[in-house]
């Protein structure tokens, strides 16, 4: 008789879903026999990292027999200097999701309340529930924006921890400076406010995006801002995230639960090299934002009455992706896209299963997406 792992597991772990990490290019190539795969599901930088990263990796590769610097000292000092903060306010993780997990492991117990946005970045919900916490999800308003009134009302009920994604992943919408000021003011000193700014480099191109660090530095309660090298900096494969805390005491608590060498030496070297080539990152961001708006215009033209994508809605985006409301189940459309070699992310969360998240790729891949989406929607229509 097989071992009963379900009975053996902690109750809080039994109902946890598995995070949807998406499909690899290799798998799609092998399964569907397509020659070219457009990776438009994981919000990667299609132009990759700075050339300086390749040189840094080559130099660091001679030291892979040594354990990495557990404090990421060189990266820490550079970021602290450039951000104008104390170096001990920084913490680093194997991607920013590593820090989300650490925050939950340190501060959450069964019955605690965590507040976050719906549709959600899965780990803002999975990791709290892993610890037995109760997660309150706030819905979008009808125009696919986050609801500042609902956030302020929910924060007034003093959740223990709040994960506020700004901009939202998967939607792309954002709270502007005025809204963020209201949210910070509404947050109790007994709530740990965590603002997830994984897409901050793109969001800064949108007028009104807040200087979150400046706002939070006026706050008396605990806070942390999460950022990553995975998106605009092009280091998704190396996994480097960082957190900026309101004080060094908070980062000290995370040190109690994080693995001591959670950012490997190659990742540290690459992140430092990428950070020192801001011009490359900014060029990538500017190209992406321009291509995002061009793709939005193409899709909206095809969404007009009588056009192939009639009825399609697109959420406002301050990121490197678009969130599409297809008005029909998205999983079948996503499958039809895979058969054409286009990987997107159908949303599986209740209430949003008619939506797709589409990363901005190169101009050629975006053109392929539009053509493939028109064909996929027609294929689904014909089948029904």
Report the mean per-residue pLDDT for the chain.
95
Query: How is residue 92 written in tokens?
Result: 């680093």
- Say whether both 151 and 226 belong to one domain: yes
CATH number, domain with residue 344: 3.90.1150.10
Q: Which of 244, 277, 310 is the last residue of a domain?
A: 277
Q: What pLDDT sits at residue 28? A: 81
- Say whether both 23 and 98 belong to one domain: no
Q: Which of 226, 252, 277 is the last residue of a domain?
A: 277
Q: What pLDDT sits at residue 384? A: 64
Q: Which of 218, 251, 277 is the last residue of a domain?
A: 277
Q: Whole domain around residue 127: which residue ranges?
A: 51-277
- What percent of the chain is modeled with pLDDT above 70? 100
CATH number, domain with residue 237: 3.40.640.10
Of 15-24, 42-51, 57-66, 68-77, minimum mean pLDDT range: 15-24
- Say whether both 330 and 350 belong to one domain: yes
- Say whether both 96 and 198 belong to one domain: yes
**pLDDT tier at 1, thresholds 50, 70, 90:** confident
- Say whether both 361 and 217 belong to one domain: no
Query: How is residue 186 written in tokens?
Result: 């509404």
H-only helix segments in the chain: 5-8, 11-14, 25-32, 51-60, 73-83, 96-107, 122-130, 148-155, 177-186, 200-203, 212-216, 248-255, 265-275, 278-302, 330-338, 363-383
Q: What is the pLDDT of residues 174-233, one digit of tens each?
A: 999 999 999 999 999 999 999 999 999 999 999 999 999 999 998 999 999 999 999 999
**pLDDT tier at 22, thresholds 50, 70, 90:** confident
- Say whether both 88 and 232 belong to one domain: yes
The set of residues, in sequence order, having a beta carbon less than 8 Å from that of 244 and lying 6+ positions away, is 83, 85, 89, 90, 213, 224, 225, 227
Distance CA 235, CA 54 (A): 11
- Say whether both 70 and 202 belong to one domain: yes
The set of residues, in sequence order, having a beta carbon less than 8 Å from that of 9 and lying 6+ positions away, is none
Q: What pLDDT sits at residue 216? A: 97
- Say whether both 24 and 172 belong to one domain: no
- Say whether both 16 and 106 belong to one domain: no
- Say whether both 42 and 161 belong to one domain: no
Paired strand residues for 346: 356
- Say whether both 369 and 252 belong to one domain: no
- Say whether both 261 and 337 belong to one domain: no
Residue bearing tokens 């397509």: 34
Q: What is the pLDDT of residues 261-288, one digit of tens each?
A: 999 999 999 999 999 999 999 999 999 9
Q: Is the pLDDT of residue 123 over 90?
A: yes
Number of domains in the chain: 2
């Amino acid at each position: 008789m097989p071992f009963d792992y379900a009975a053996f597991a902690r109750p809080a772990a039994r109902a946890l879903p598995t995070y949807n990490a998406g499909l690899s290019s290799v798998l799609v190539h092998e399964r569907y026999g397509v020659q070219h795969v457009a990776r438009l599901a994981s919000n990667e930088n299609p132009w990759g990292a700075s050339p300086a990263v390749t040189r840094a990796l080559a130099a660091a590769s001679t030291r892979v027999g040594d354990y990495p610097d557990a404090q990421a000292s060189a990266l820490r000092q550079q970021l602290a200097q450039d951000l104008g903060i104390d170096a001990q306010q920084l913490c680093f993780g194997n991607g920013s999701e590593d820090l989300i997990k650490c925050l939950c492991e340190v501060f959450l117990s069964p019955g605690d309340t965590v507040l976050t946005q719906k549709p959600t970045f899965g780990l803002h919900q999975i990791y709290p529930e892993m610890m037995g916490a109760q997660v309150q999800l706030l819905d979008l308003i009808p125009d696919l924006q986050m609801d500042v009134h609902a956030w302020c009302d929910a924060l007034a009920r003093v959740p223990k921890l709040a994960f506020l994604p700004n901009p939202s992943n998967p939607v792309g919408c954002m709270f502007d400076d005025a809204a963020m000021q209201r949210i910070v003011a509404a947050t109790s000193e007994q709530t740990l406010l965590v603002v997830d700014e994984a897409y901050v480099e793109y969001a800064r191109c949108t007028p009104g995006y807040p200087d979150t660090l400046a706002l939070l530095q006026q706050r008396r309660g605990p806070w942390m801002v999460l950022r990553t090298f995975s998106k605009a900096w092009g280091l998704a494969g190396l996994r480097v995230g960082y957190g900026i805390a309101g004080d060094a005491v908070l980062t000290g608590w995370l040190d109690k639960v994080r693995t001591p060498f959670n950012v490997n030496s190659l990742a540290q070297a690459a992140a430092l090299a990428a950070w020192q080539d801001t011009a490359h990152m900014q060029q990538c961001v500017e190209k992406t934002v321009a291509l995002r708006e061009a793709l939005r215009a193409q899709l909206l033209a095809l969404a007009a009455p009588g056009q192939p994508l009639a009825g399609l809605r697109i959420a406002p985006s301050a990121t490197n992706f678009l969130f599409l409301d297809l008005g029909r189940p998205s999983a079948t459309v996503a499958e039809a896209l895979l058969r054409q070699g286009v990987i997107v992310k159908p949303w599986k969360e209740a209430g949003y299963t008619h939506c797709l998240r589409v990363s901005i790729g190169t101009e050629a891949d975006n053109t392929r997406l539009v053509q493939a989406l028109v064909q996929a929607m027609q294929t689904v229509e014909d089948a029904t």
